[in-house]
Every structure is written in structure tokens, then in C-alpha cells.
Structure 1
């Protein structure tokens, strides 16, 4: 059994959050617990409770960091996609795949149901900023707000689906790297966006 480690006050909090990401990436949300994070850091099971009173508060801190970092990854990918608004939005799916396969912290963590009753202003600010960035990308692609929200949901669903299939070992070929899967997600999102009805377009017809 590994020896217990000691951390300075601020270092332990940051280490708990980082270890949480590592655990989520390896084992998923269902196996996430304060005790498992403590074991990963080789600290006593009581040590994390000096910073987080329960699993929800630790997961909330992870959610806050994840929302901030995913937003930054999306902004970077959109910038690299160039000036075309549809390409910038499609890039979201690829950024999502890359981020989630690395950290395990997708929307299922950022917006976990158990966090709904958690009063955390920092988390609220970061999740709101993330959604604002996504909605802005969709509206820039010519969608009104009422169309932008479901389009964002669908784009994220593509990224999440590809990331989940990758994590589950669905892509068995040796050349199915994260980058390749991310590119497939971008291609799928590009098709989705091009087929998504524009305001006033007749139902069932592909927009020009």
C-alpha cells in the first residue's frame, strides 16, 4: 500500500481536483468518489473533507474547472477553423472529443444532475460563459436563438457520442487516434449544420 502523502493547504485542493480529472478519464463518473480520489493521491480518506464536504462539492469544483477549460479549447478550435461561421461551429465537436478523451469531463460531468442544487457562484459563472460561447457560435452561423440552442445541443451530442464510443473501445483499428475521431466528429457536425433548417426555411427541405 502506498505511503500517505502530505500536502500544503492550497496544494491539496488543487491536487484533489487534478486527481479527479485523472480518475474520471480512467473510470468514468459512476466510479467517481471522494475516497477513490484520496486513494489516488495516497492521502487519508479524511483529508479531502478539509476542502470538500462531500462528493458533490468536489465534483462541483471539477465542473467549474472543466467548463472553463472546455470553453478555452472550443474558442481555440473555432479560431483555428478560420472565418467561416459554420466551420467554426463544427470545430466545437472536435474540440469536445479531444477534451473529453483527455479529461473524462464532458457535459455529463459539467452539468451533472447532482450539482443542480449546489450553490456555487464560480461554477455558475463558468458554465454560463461556456454556454454563451456556444450559443454565440451558433447565432454567428445564422441561427436565431431558438434554433441556436437545439443546434448547440446536437453539435455537442455528436462530440459526446464519438468521445463515448472511443472510450468504450468501439474504434478498434490501431489508426483510430483521438485526432482521427475528432476529425470524424467535425465532419458529422459539418453535415448537421449544413442540413439544419434556417429560420423561415420550409420544413423538410435542405437549405440552399
Structure 2
């Protein structure tokens, strides 16, 4: 194939692992976990199908690295939303829901993938770290709102709501429903605020 060796030559300085993870994130967004293929990622990058295994022990370890990158992107988006929302825990948790929806609708990696049993069994340290950081962002406002007895339940409800919006948005349902032209993340944030008010008796 013309240009093949030149493309492979880009990676001799040690950036192939990061390039593979980037390509894996793009593929995961298109196909989901079930159809995730290391050989397809290698083809996209322009390297041999054996090349990824010089950096990752097997498919699951490679997938864990890709999901970790997605989890870090999700945490960064939520952290920005929390910073912009101000001190009110209701606004902060609702903003986190909007950020969750916005990021997951793009990357298609939410709690369902980050905490999937198959990946958890790997005990991958980086993925575990990313999961802890992500949940660590959501619990403080939930604790402020619902206390230690209700925080976990409130986080669950908000995440399920946000994930539902993200999934329907990724599948094109909400962009074609013609109910409103508002971005899906805005709709999710408003719905989360209503859920929070009902759950903790505000409003």
C-alpha cells in the first residue's frame, strides 16, 4: 500500500500507544463495547494487527486503557460543569448531569462501561483510579442535598436520568423528536434539577 511504511514510521518515538488509544476511543464511540476490535483500531492507525500487543497484553487491557481515557474525559467535563455552576449543590449536581449527558452522547462511555463487570475483573489500576475520581465528583453535592443516607440513591437517580438522555441522543432520537431545539445536555440538566427537587423536597 503506497505510503504505508511512512505512516508506520511516525510511531518509532513511542507515541503509538497513545495513538492507538485515541483511535480506540473513536471506534468505541461508533461501535460500542461489544463490537470493539483491536485489529480494526490497528487498521485505522496504519499498523500491523500485532502492533497493539506490544503495548497492551490483550484486548481487554487495551479496552481498559481506552475506557480509562473516556472516563477521564467524562470526569473533566463534569469538573468544569461543577466549577461553572457555583456553590449551590442543586445546581452543581444538575450541571454534572448535563455534562454527563453531553460527554457520553459523544464517546458512548458512561457508568455502564466504566464499571462493567468484565472490566472490573481486570483490576486495572488506572481504570479504577478514573472510576474513583468520577464518582468522587458526584457525591459531594449529593451528600449536601440528601445526607449520607440518601446520597447514593440520589447519585444513582441522576446518573440513570443523564445516561438515558445521552443514550437517546447518541441514537438520534432526541435530535429528531421536534419537541425542542434545545441541546440535549440542557434538557438533561433541567430534568435533573426537577428530579433533585422531588427527591429532596426542594422547590
TM-score range, shorter chain: 0.7 to 0.9
Q: Quick one: structure 1 residues 145 and 63, their matched pair in 2 at CA, closer, same or farther if it must change by over 3 Å? A: farther
Of 100, 104, 121, the match for 1:100? 104
User: Displacement of 1:174 after TM fit?
Assistant: 7.7
Give the equivalent residue in structure 1 for 2:12.
8
Structure 2: give runs of 5+ residues left out of the alignment: none
Corresponding residue pairs, total: 198
More helix per residue: 1 or 2?
Answer: 2
Q: Quick one: structure 1 residues 109 and 9, their matched pair in 2 at CA, closer, same or farther if it must change by over 3 Å? A: farther
Secondary structure of the residue that 1:30 maps to in structure 2?
coil
Alignment TM-score, normalising by the size of structure 1: 0.86
Secondary structure of the residue that 1:73 maps to in structure 2?
helix
Contact kept, 8 Å, 1:92 with 1:156, in 2: the verdict is no
Give the equivalent residue in structure 1 for 2:73.
69
- Residue by residue over 1:180-203, the C-alpha shift from the partner in whole angstroms, topping out at 9 and shown as x without a partner, is 100000011011100004xxxxxx
Aligned pair 1:145/2:159, yes or no? no
Give the equivalent residue in structure 1 for 2:166.
163
Q: How does 1:69-88 map to 2 (within 5 A)?
A: 69-88=73-92
User: Displacement of 1:67 after TM fit?
Assistant: 2.4
Alignment TM-score, normalising by the size of structure 2: 0.88
Give the equivalent residue in structure 1 for 2:58.
54
Aligned-residue Cα RMSD (Å) equals 2.2
Aligned pair 1:120/2:124, yes or no? yes
Contact kept, 8 Å, 2:28 with 2:108, in 1: the verdict is yes
Give the equivalent residue in structure 2 for 1:34.
38
User: Displacement of 1:108 after TM fit?
Assistant: 2.3
Distance of 1:23 and 1:193 partners within structure 2: 35
Give the equivalent residue in structure 1 for 2:187.
184
Secondary structure of the residue that 2:128 maps to in structure 1?
helix
Structure 1: give runs of 5+ residues left out of the alignment: 198-205
Distance of 1:160 and 1:99 partners within structure 2: 10
Contact kept, 8 Å, 1:38 with 1:45, in 2: the verdict is yes
